[in-house]
Structure 1
């Protein structure tokens, strides 16, 4: 579990995240919904251990991540994958882009290291790369230049790269905001497959319909923090908080 406890983060005089507490379990999809500017990306960066919060505690499987030395924190960070809104691919083949994650991150357990390092597909591509590209439906483009892909295909490669080293947690920041329905559907299916493999997935999204489709739990983040965190069906159909009801129904506009 990743657990945030009373986390606050400020940039200068501006508080972006204020006194948030949140558990993230493996084997679930947690969607964070809310308007622009409420701190969804900052929250993801804190979960990814990229950003140290101004106040509060971040724990990964019971370890307070900012109380350990940099080497141990790096080992913890390697258990977490993140996919940003804009895919950033190298001028190389699709396979080489996906394989990059395996080269720079040591897999986070001996079991995964053995699975990724010792199995190679017949064409020389690591089996983990092949499996990840298969999840996003791009095995036929393995040797194609990544720069020749469409925007949707590039985002699918970015997802496959994060999936290849079998992270314990996968964080997605608006992963389908600029994609067509076909590419959106592929990534949503890949998210559900990752969950079924036991990966904890956190998706920050403006798309409430997407949250309804794929999330097990939903956190509604408004200007004053989470108004509600709970099962997706309850949050959308029978929320406890009136602000949540107004936001998910479209009555509360930011």
Structure 2
């Protein structure tokens, strides 16, 4: 699992994440809900091993992330994929965008080199690329230029790119912000498929209804750490913390 223990992070004098602990198991979806500005993205960056917290401990599958040599740290980081709020695609075909992560890893993983055979001439995508595009409902767009996609389609390509190299954990930062219902539904279906494949997924969102739909467990982040973390139904139906109840009911305004 990924485990954060008593993690804190500040930017200057501003405390963004304060004494947060969280674990994410393979094959489960954890939703992190809370208003804007309470540290959801910072927490994801720590989980993605992009950011060293000021305090606390980060472990990935029982291994401490910090204090290891650079090769081991890079290998740990490559177990985690992240999809950001805004899609960032290259000026290339959909297939070339999705296979990018596979190409980056081509030099260190024999299994992924095998997946990439047949791509040298650029004639057809690898099986992993086709599979990832199938999950997000874009198999028919494989040869289409990325700059011709709609915003929702571009976000689905970003999701497929993260799935293609089969990470153990997938982190999503407001993955459906400003998307129409159809694209939102397709991404939520892809989250469920990732979970079914044994990938641990973390979805940070201000959309409480989305967390209720997709997450097995939910953590409520209100700026001073989690008020509580627990099974989704209990958090929404029977919260034990008064701040959680007020936030979910709309009484607590940020």
TM over 0.5: yes
Residues 228-251 of structure 1 show CA distances to partners (whole Å, capped at 9, x for unaligned) of 100000000001111101111111
- TM-score normalized by structure 2? 0.95
Distance 1:136 1:117 in 2: 20
For the residue of structure 1 that corresponds to 2:198, the secondary structure is: coil
Partner of 1:89: 89
| CA offset digits 1:46-80 (Å, max 9, x no partner) | 00000000011000011110120111100000000
Shift of 1:116: 3.0
CA contact (8 A) 2:17 2:223 kept: no
Question: What is the 5 A alignment of 1:44-83?
Answer: 44-83=44-83
* Contact 1:78/1:108 (<8 A) preserved: no
Give the equivalent residue in structure 1 for 2:233.
Answer: 233
Deviations 1:151-184 (A, max 9, x none): 0000000000000000000000000011000000
Match of 1:40 in 2: 40
After the TM superposition, list the runs of 4 or more consecutive aligned residues in structure 1 that deviate by more than 4 angstroms: 106-110, 117-120
Aligned partner of 2:115 in structure 1 is: 116
Question: Structure 1 residues 106 and 23 mapped into 2: Cα distance closer, same or farther (>3 Å)?
Answer: farther
Secondary structure at the aligned position of 1:66 is classed as coil
Unpaired runs of 5+ in structure 1? Answer: none
Separation in structure 2 between the aligned mates of residue 139 and residue 189 of structure 1, nearest angstrom: 15
Deviation at 1:114, TM superposition (A): 7.1
* Contact map agreement 2:118 2:124 (CA 8 A) in 1: no
In structure 2, distance between residues paired with 1:86 and 1:58: 26
Contact kept, 8 Å, 2:106 with 2:113, in 1: the verdict is no
Contact persistence 1:107–1:165 (CA under 8 A):
no
Q: Is the 8 A contact 1:107 1:166 kept in 2?
A: no
Q: In the alignment, what sits opposite 2:29? A: 29
The count of corresponding residues between Structure 1 and Structure 2 is 251
Go from structure 1 to structure 2 and tell me whether the alpha carbon gap of 1:208 and 1:67 turns closer, same or farther (over 3 Å shift): same
1:191 is aligned to: 191
Instruction: Tell me the equivalent position of 1:200.
Output: 200
Measured after TM superposition, the shift of residue 117 of structure 1 is 4.2
Counterpart secondary structure, 1:179: coil
**1:19 aligned onto 2:19:** yes
| TM superposition shift of 1:13 | 1.5
Query: C-alpha displacement at 1:109, in angstroms?
Result: 7.0
Change (3 A) 1:201 1:15: same
Distance 1:195 1:25, change over 3 A: same
1:130 corresponds to: 130
Q: Is the 8 A contact 2:102 2:112 kept in 1?
A: no
With the length of structure 1 as denominator, give the TM-score of the two structures.
0.95
Contact 2:95 2:125 (8 Å CA) reproduced: yes
Contact 2:103 2:116 in 1 (8 A): no
Task: List alignment gaps of at least 5 residues for structure 2.
Answer: none
